Amino acid sequence: MLEKRKRYCLYCKEQKDWLQTNKKLSDGTKVYVDKNGFRWAGKRCPQCEKKRVQYLIKYNSFERELILKKLKDEGYQVQNKIAPFEVIKDANSFTIDIQKASVEAGEISFSDMSCLEADHLIVLFQSARILTKAQVMDLFSQKRKLSQKEKI
């Protein structure tokens, strides 16, 4: 028999159907699903869990660190590690999502429009730059000069 209950998701902050199934895992844990039959384990509802997995696939660790560092540098206190971020700045809290964008012929285009519900957007511009070895050496020698100046 299915027992109909609701559960509060800590991430989207909604009450959602949380239905016990007749299934049990090998360790005896009862299996719960939402009304669409997607498994609900832990504090995240199946939709939030799906978002989490999509986020992990979409952004590699390099990008994630870049984003979190940027937020910190700009004075945002990040409440969660996965987009959409809940942030606090100057005692105001709001949401920030991430969007990948490219610039072609001076026009910005977003890779998808699914994250326009957030209050702010972090835009990661996708671009590639080719440097010659001489340019790389130039960059490094400029950096070295700068750090030597700082020491003096």
Q: Does 11 bind Zn ion (CB under 5 A)?
A: yes
Q: Does 33 bind Zn ion (CB under 5 A)?
A: no
As given in the structure block, the two tokens for residue 43 are 């504090």
Q: Does 87 bind Zn ion (CB under 5 A)?
A: no
Binding segment for Zn ion (CB under 5 A), chosen from 23-31, 38-46, 99-107, 132-140, is: 38-46
CB of 81 to Zn ion, least distance (A): 15
Q: Does 12 bind Zn ion (CB under 5 A)?
A: yes
User: Which residue among 19, 33, 45, 67 contacts Zn ion (CB under 5 A)?
Assistant: 45
Q: Does 41 bind Zn ion (CB under 5 A)?
A: no
Could you tell me which residues come within 8 angstroms of residue 40 by beta carbon, excluding any fewer than 6 positions away? 7, 16, 18, 32, 33, 34, 46, 49
How large is the C-alpha radius of gyration of the chain? 22
Q: What is the dihedral of CA 13, 15, 21, 26, to 10 degrees?
A: 20
Q: Does 48 bind Zn ion (CB under 5 A)?
A: yes
Residues binding Zn ion (CB under 5 A): 9, 11-12, 45, 48
